[in-house]
A = this chain, B = another copy of it.
Amino acid sequence: MATLKDIGAELGLSVATVSRALNGFPEVNIKTRDKVREAAERLGYRPNRVAQRLVTGRSGMVGMIIKIRADMSADQTFFEMLTGLTAALAARDVDLVLAVDQDDDPVLPYRKLMERDILDGFILNAPVPDDPRVVFLQEKRIPFVMHGQTGPDADYACYGIDNAGVSEDAVKLLTSLGHKRIALLNGQSRYAYAVDRRSGFLNAMTAQGLNVPQAFLCSDAETEMQGYTHALAMLSGQNGPRPTAFICASTLIAAGVMQAAKDRGLQVPGDVSVIAHDDALPLMRAVNFEPALTVTRAPLRDACVPLANLLIDHVAGAPAEQKMDRAELIVRASTGPVPNEETDPWP
A-to-B contact residues, CB < 8 Å: 1, 46, 48-51, 53-54, 59, 61, 68, 70, 72, 75-76, 79, 82-83, 86, 90, 93, 95-100, 102, 115-118, 283
Residue of B nearest to A283 (CB): B70
Distance between A77 CB and nearest chain B CB, rounded to angstroms:
12
- A75 CA / B66 CA spacing, docked (Å): 13
Contacts of A115 in B (CB 8 A): 46
When all copies of this chain in the complex are counted, the total is 2
Contact A98 B82 (CB under 8 A): yes
Distance between A86 CB and nearest chain B CB, rounded to angstroms:
5
Interface of A (DSSP majority class): mixed
Contact B46 A50 (CB under 8 A): no
**Residue from B75, B118, B283 within 8 A of A49 (CB atoms):** B118
Contact B98 A86 (CB under 8 A): yes
Give 26 pairs: A residue, B residue, CB < 8 Å, sorted on A: A1-B117, A46-B117, A48-B117, A49-B59, A50-B50, A50-B53, A50-B54, A50-B118, A51-B54, A54-B54, A68-B79, A68-B83, A72-B72, A72-B75, A72-B283, A75-B75, A79-B100, A82-B98, A82-B100, A83-B102, A86-B98, A86-B99, A90-B116, A95-B97, A95-B118, A98-B98
| Contact status of A96 and B95, CB under 8 A, knowing A46-B117, A59-B50 | no
- A83 CA / B61 CA spacing, docked (Å): 19
